[in-house]
A and B are shown apart, each in its own frame.
Chain A
Amino acid sequence: MPQIVVENLSKSYRVSERAPGVWGATKGMFRRAARTVEALKAISFSLERGELLGFIGPNGAGKSTTLKILSGILEPDSGRCEVDGLTPSRDRIRHVARIGVVFGQRTQLWWDLPVVDGFDLLRDIYSVPETQYRRTKDAMVELMRLEPLLDQPVRQLSLGQRMRCEIAAAMLHRPSILFLDEPTIGLDAPSKLAVRAFVKSLNRDHGVTVILTTHDMHDIEALAERVIVIGNGIILADQSFESLRKEVLTERRLFVDFVGAAPALDFPGVAELHRDGNSLELSFDPSVVGAANLISWISAEYDLVDIHIQQPRIEEVIARFYNLHGAIEA
């Protein structure tokens, strides 16, 4: 029995619009135009207890909307959404007591309060028994190395420090599910690593089910076994990260510097991407064209200064994947 079931979930927003300029504003006083934007178009997926799912997609794809419906903040227009047997928007209070949520772009801690006071308030809000609370808090403080931060007011923390506190705060009532909406946004490299390690440990050692949205493919690479790619409100891919990577990362790049001007190459299965004086950037699929064959042919035919093969960056590939599916935000 999956822990999370989503079936044909749809959600649309009404966005008001007006024509630009004085005329548009005047017209807008009498007639309001509104456009319906379909944020989710009948998406379906399910998740087993203890899974770690990465949600990726361009801005405006519907990632956050999905998380907000799953966490009970938004009500879907149609479709079924069940988490641990509860319908989030209908059984909101019982549901939210069992989940933890972190929005990377917002803060749930109180700006004016020291971190530890915020934690204590959350203890009271979630009615966590004192002994359980102390044990969870100590574990989180140790795991995220929060000890020196506890007495500081939240507004004085750096973004990285705050995000560590935010995730710890979301875990104080021991939720079995954690929703993370862009938890690494704006963080520096060490903070990102810390957040990833923390999430991984929660998932692996504590069995917490995690859904994570991100634009950082390294988050996905480091954490998610399974990835859902969403674009324009539909699911474009739902598979293991490895198979997605194999699928989209088949291409290789060959960079060649010639002694003279770069020639026009004619080799079946090889495409020219970029040409700059003596240099060429070529693209090929190693399952069609053997890399060794290609290199030995080129070096036999021409005088070379340098030659090397690269994998395209995963960001670039994902962008192409979005493009291919027409998923880029209008």
Chain B
Amino acid sequence: MIARVAPYLSVFRMRFLIMLQYRTAALAGFFTQCWWGIILVMVLAAFFHGARSHEPISFAQAVTYTWLGQAFLVLLPWTGDPDVGEMVRSGNVSYDRLRPLDTYFYWYVRAMAWMAARAVPRAALMFVTAGLIFPLIGLGAWRMRFPSSVAAGLLFTPALLSVVLLSSAMVMLINLTVVATVSDRGANTLATPIVIVLSGNLLPLPLFPDWMHRFLFLQPFAGLVDIPSRIYVGNLTGAVALAGLLQQVVWIGLLILLGHHLMLRAMRRLQVQGG
């Protein structure tokens, strides 16, 4: 078992280390996400100020929820892996088919490494800025809080890990459309609006109308931001929090099965032209 997993771990490690090199991109991304985070928090403040009814999530929770969404923004599957787009254009897919590896998982671990490595520096900067510096400069009300309880913190860890697994499975589906259409434009444009709305990145999902809540909780994108963030802020606790984790795991399994199946089909139809 270990011997069979070792090659994939090695591939993960290598891509992770390569991606960590891009410090300027991380810094630029962090500033953009700060900017967006502040705008979203201001919108939330205005909304909660005007709200008459009792909302299913408190203002403080919604603010921390929003900052988590910004901190882990690069874990969202809104584009395919740029390496796959490049390989499809250049025809280097050939070499990937020459490795004694399952091509789906070969690409899957690379997508994981690609996202995780970019998330680490950005999230660290965000925690320091929105969590520690904001209270010091008088923005305490808009700050990102610590997990609501030890239990919430403990449950958040597997939920966050599931975000990476779930998002990689979604990136793989985008990758497969890139393989099928030999272009990474279409899928990338289509994925963005769906992902930012349905994940809760734009607006916390509990703030949507009540009648949508059941659907919003069950759909796969909830596992990207909404479920882990609500566990973190203590909006999902106990059995419901566990149901949230289960929801993530089920979708991860289903999407991997689907992607794996589609990969087999795509590779059977593969045409490598020229050369």
Contact = CB atoms under 8 A, between A and B. Distances in A.
A127 B90 contact: no
Contact of B94 (A73, A94, A121): A73
A12 B270 CA distance: 12
Given A73-B270, A101-B98, A121 B14 contact: yes
Given A106-B91, A110-B14, A121-B11, A13 B273 contact: yes
A97 interface: yes
Interface string B1-16: 0010011011100100
B212 to A, nearest CB: 38
Nearest to A117: B14
A316 to B, nearest CB: 25
A125 interface: yes
A125 B11 contact: yes
B94 A125 contact: no
Interface in B80-117: 90-92, 94-95, 97-102
B268 interface: yes
Contacts of A105: 275
A97 B274 CA distance: 25
Contact of B3 (A93, A112, A113, A127): A127
A181 interface: yes
B195 to A, nearest CB: 28
Given A106-B90, A110-B14, A125 B99 contact: yes
B271 interface: yes
B18 interface: yes
B218 interface: no
Q: Which of A75, A110, A124 has the most CB of B within 10 A?
A: A124
B95 A108 contact: yes
A113 B6 contact: no
B272 A68 contact: yes
Contacts of A325: none
Given A106-B90, A106-B91, A121-B11, A93 B100 contact: yes
A107 B272 CA distance: 15
A92 interface: yes
Contacts of A182: 275
Contacts of A93: 100-102
Contacts of B6: 124, 127
Interface in A196-237: none
A32 to B, nearest CB: 14
Interface residues of B, number: 27
Interface in A1-49: 13
Identify which of A64, A73, A96, A126 gathers the most chain B CB atoms within 10 Å of its CB: A73
A106 B94 CA distance: 9
B100 A96 contact: yes
Contacts of B270: 73-74
A103 interface: yes
Interface in A57-113: 64, 68, 71-75, 92-94, 96-97, 99, 101, 103, 105-108, 110, 112-113
B2 to A, nearest CB: 11
B92 A97 contact: no
A72 B91 contact: no
Nearest to A185: B275
Nearest to A173: B100
Contacts of A68: 94, 272
Contacts of A72: 97-98
A125 B271 CA distance: 24
Given A68-B272, A106-B92, A73 B14 contact: no
Contacts of B21: 112
Nearest to B101: A125
A113 B18 contact: yes
Nearest to A64: B275
Contacts of B14: 110, 113, 117, 121
A91 B162 CA distance: 32
A275 to B, nearest CB: 41
A71 B10 contact: no
B7 A127 contact: yes
A108 B270 CA distance: 19
B273 A73 contact: no
Interface in A169-210: 181-182
B272 A125 contact: no
Interface of A: 13, 64, 68, 71-75, 92-94, 96-97, 99, 101, 103, 105-108, 110, 112-113, 117, 121, 124-127, 181-182
Given A93-B102, A101-B95, A103-B94, 20 more contacts: A13-B273, A64-B274, A68-B272, A71-B98, A72-B98, A73-B94, A74-B272, A75-B268, A93-B100, A96-B99, A99-B98, A103-B95, A110-B18, A112-B18, A113-B14, A113-B18, A125-B7, A127-B6, A127-B7, A181-B275
Closest 3 CB pairs of A and B: A124-B10, A97-B100, A108-B95
